[in-house]
Each structure stands twice: as structure tokens, then as C-alpha cells.
Amino acid sequence: MLAMAQIDYIRHEVNRKGDSYASVARRVEVDQRTVKKYADQDEFPVRPPQKRPSPVMDPVKPILDKWIKEDLQGKKKYQRTAKRMYQQLKKFHSFEGSERSVRKYVSRRKKELTEYDQEAALPLESIPGTAQVDFGTAPFDYGGRDIDLPFLVMSFPYSNTFYFQVFPSENTECLLEGLQRMFHYMGGVPKIIRFDNLSPAVKKIYSKGNRELTDTFERFVLHYGFAYEFCNPGKGNEKGHVESMVKYIRNNYLLPACTITDLDLFNKTLWTMAEDDRERLHYKRDIMLTDLYEEEKTNWLFPPGKPFECVRYETCKADKYGFISVDGKQYSTSPRFAKQRVRVCISYDAIMIVNEAQEVIVRHSRLYGIKRKSMVWQPYLELLAKRPRAIKYSSLYNQFPKEWSDYLQNCTEEEQKAALRLLTNLLKNDDFSILNQALVLASEHGHPDVDQIKHCFYTLFHYGERYEKVPAGGNIPQVPDITRGLSHYDAFFREGDEKR
């Protein structure tokens, strides 16, 4: 196609000056039929650019469009990067194109679908042996539930490396537990660590940059000997490296949502992920991140030989049933502590009731999320086994599973004592599941005694399923159902009299 300037010249020479097609064709060096075409043409509409076929990218464009639109429906921090999309195309769709083509397409499509505000960030000085710390969040499938969990990131601006751990909360105990894990795994402590004004570390901010720190955080700093810095309020860009690293980790390791069954085991796999990421060149220097990280280590402090106890102690008053409240969650103690003050040791994953000698009396897994009450049965069962009549006048009666509350209601006092002693001996980890199955199985032919329940429990415990029933139609006589009382004896003697 001729340039617009050439077309304009042809039309001017032929239509205005009256030159022949042939003479103008010689001057422009084109065929005279081309000259005639443009000289006689009436319309010059704007033509859309011709779309060239792309046999590699065209099949995956609908997939990329779907992913981009799905991501744009959620939070920006949960959106996949073009690199991550490229990796998934290769893995799940046998994509043979280049990462550059995917990046180019994703960038263009995102601009077509939305507008982004680019914020400028001030470069921060990178000093070997220093670190920055912050929490991020990512979606997880944890215990069968879709939930957002925080992950703690420690980044090293000089070497552009990091470590991270996932926790159930952003409280003080999780912060200190995460830092301590990293220090001892690394075998060193950064000389200076920069934080945002995290509530687990900062109680209150005063004028002129003064801060009141939480007691546990201050003791943690003294234990490990590092210097701390805090960003000015509202100036998160002052720790821009860790904020960028939070996004990098989420995009490259935590999206799409990871499935977790055991959080501690999952966290152990994250050390290797962080170390494998160092097998690449620094984005500015022509040096491997592994080499820069080794240089970082020479500037660290040596960690103390003894770990810090990442717990806090509180004194709580139990209610009339022996329950205490910690961070809005209810935990059982023992009936003997009802309406008394007890000492509580709180870690990131446990709530422990301790005595004056710091010995653990009752231990709970710490509650997070929607569950609001944790019950450890042993202390209560021991008391109820001695005083079974009290069970009917206690709210604990309603705490039992329905199978057991119905059963106990139909028991005599001696049967209640025996049943409660059985529960005390067999109930482990406060899990009633097998005991419930045993009671239902033992109750198939009426009200069972304790020995029958115990036999069914061990059958289920060792074999995992009930014994096989005898097939119907055999020669075994029908066994009558169990009945309570002496009425069956009366029937027996009446039958004997009739025969005589």
C-alpha cells in the first residue's frame, strides 16, 4: 500500500493538473493501474490493523483471558503474575511458546480491562547484615476451609533474599515465634531490623518518633541483641523491599491457594523454597543471590545459645464452671478452679493453665477463627465420677455429645459412676468419635452396661469397623432384645406353669 503522501500527490497531479496516468506512474514509479485506482477512489475509510494469526498464542488466549478476569474479581494482591500464568500454561496446557509472549499479552489485556495507578517509590540504601520484616496474607485451603492466613516475611535488601513462615494470626506470639525460627535456622541475627508499626511490637506512638513497645517484644530484642527501626506512621514505602518481597512470595509460591493439613509440616518446606530462589542473578548486579547472601551472613550477630520463651503470662478469673476467657475465646480449667484466679501461659499455638511451680495442669490448642470454646474433659469427669448426681444440675450435662447425655439420663447412680469412670479412662484428646460409635453399637439391643460399651470400643479401636453380622436365614435362633427390670422372669415362670 502506498503512503498517504504518495496518494495525495497522485490525486493532485491527475485530478487537479490533468496529467496522464502513465506520466504520473513513471514519476512515482508505480504501475499506471495503481495511479488510476487512487485517482478515481472516492472513499478512504480508516482500516483497523490487520490481525496476524498466532498459532502458538491463539489457543491459550481464552485461558489467559479467563484467568485475568478471575483475578480482577478479587484483591489485587491475590492476582497471578504473567510469569506464574506462563508456568501454569506449560504445566497444565502443554504450552510451547515463550514467557515473553505471555508477558506481553497479559500486560496488554490488563490495560484493556482496567487502569492501574503507578506509585513512585524512593530507593532505600541496602546495607549488608540488615533486614526488614512485615506480614502479608494469602488464601489457603486449611483443614477443608477456604481462609486467608498471614505469613511473616524477613527480607534482606542487600542480597535481595528472604525467608517466610505461615501463621494462624498476626499476634505478638506469632511474630516472635516466626522471628526466632528464622534466627535459629539462619544461624545468625541481622544487626538492624526495620519494622512497620506492628501492634504486636508497638503499643503506642508518641510525638517526635517516640514509641511505647510491648513488654514481650522489648525482652525479645534484649535477648537477641539486634537494633530495631520503625517506619514513620503511614510511610510503608520506608520498608519498600519487604513489601515488594511479600508480593513476590505470594505471586510465586502461594497462588493459587495452597492446601494445608498440618501447618508445622508445611512451614518446614518453606525453608527450601526460599533457598532455591537464590539460584539467580541479582536484578541490578551481575552476581548470584547465593553469593550475596553469603556476604550478608558475615555481618550478622551470633544468636544466643538458649532460645527465647515466646509466651506471655496472664492471670485470669474462672467463672462458676471453671472457664476462663483469653482474647475472646473460652477455655476450660477444672471445677476446683471455679470463681478463682488462675495463671495462664499463652503461646502462639497453646493455652496452658499452670500452677505456682509453673507445672502445666491443663493444656489447650489455641483457638483461632470461628470456634469460640475449648473443653478438656478429664478434670470434670474425675469430679463427676465421684458425684454423679451433680451432673443433672450442671451445664456440663449439655456439653456431652447427645448419645452420651441421653445414655447417662437413663442410667442409675451406680451406672453413671461406672460410665463416667469409663469415659475418664478411654477419652483421649477429648475426641468422642469412637466412644460415640461404641455406644451406638452397644445400644442396638437395648440399654447396655459399661462392659458392653468397653468391648465395642476396643473392637472399633483395633479393627476400625464393626464385626460382620451373621447372614440372615441361618440356623441360629433369634435372640430376644435386652429388656430392663424383672418382667422377663415373670413371663418365664408363667410359661412354666402353663406347661405343668
Q: Provide the pLDDT for residue 190.
A: 93
Paired residues of 236 in beta bridges:
none
What are the cell numbers at 323? 472457664
CB 195 within 8 A of CB 230: yes
For the chain, residues with pLDDT lower than 50 are: 46, 116-124, 469-470
Centre a 10 Å sphere on the Cβ of residue 490 and count the other Cβ atoms it contains: 10
What are the cell numbers at 201? 511490637
DSSP secondary structure, 435-495, as one string:
HHHHHHHHGGGSS--HHHHHHHHHHHHHHSSPPPPPPTTSSSPPPPPP--SSHHHHHHHHH
What are the cell numbers at 311? 509466651
Q: Provide the pLDDT for residue 498.
A: 59
Q: Provide the pLDDT for residue 338.
A: 84
* Residue that the C-alpha cell 443433672 belongs to: 392
CB 249 within 8 A of CB 162: yes
Distance CA 42, CA 336 (A): 101
Nearest to 76 by CA among 120, 115, 104: 115
Q: Provide the pLDDT for residue 360.
A: 86
**C-alpha separations of 144 from 136, 140, 151, 161, 260 in Å:** 22, 9, 19, 32, 8
Cα separation of the two ends of the chain: 124
- Tens-place pLDDT, residues 418-466: 888 888 888 876 678 888 888 888 888 888 888 988 888 888 887 765 5
Which residues, 6+ apart, have CB-to-CB distance to 320 below 8 Å?
338, 339
Centre a 10 Å sphere on the Cβ of residue 321 and count the other Cβ atoms it contains: 17
Centre a 10 Å sphere on the Cβ of residue 460 and count the other Cβ atoms it contains: 18
Distance CA 111, CA 363 (A): 54
Q: Provide the pLDDT for residue 356.
A: 78
Distance CA 255, CA 244 (A): 16
**C-alpha separations of 354 from 321, 323, 359, 363, 380 in Å:** 18, 14, 5, 9, 17
CATH architecture entry for 130-297: 2-Layer Sandwich (3.30)
Centre a 10 Å sphere on the Cβ of residue 359 and count the other Cβ atoms it contains: 9
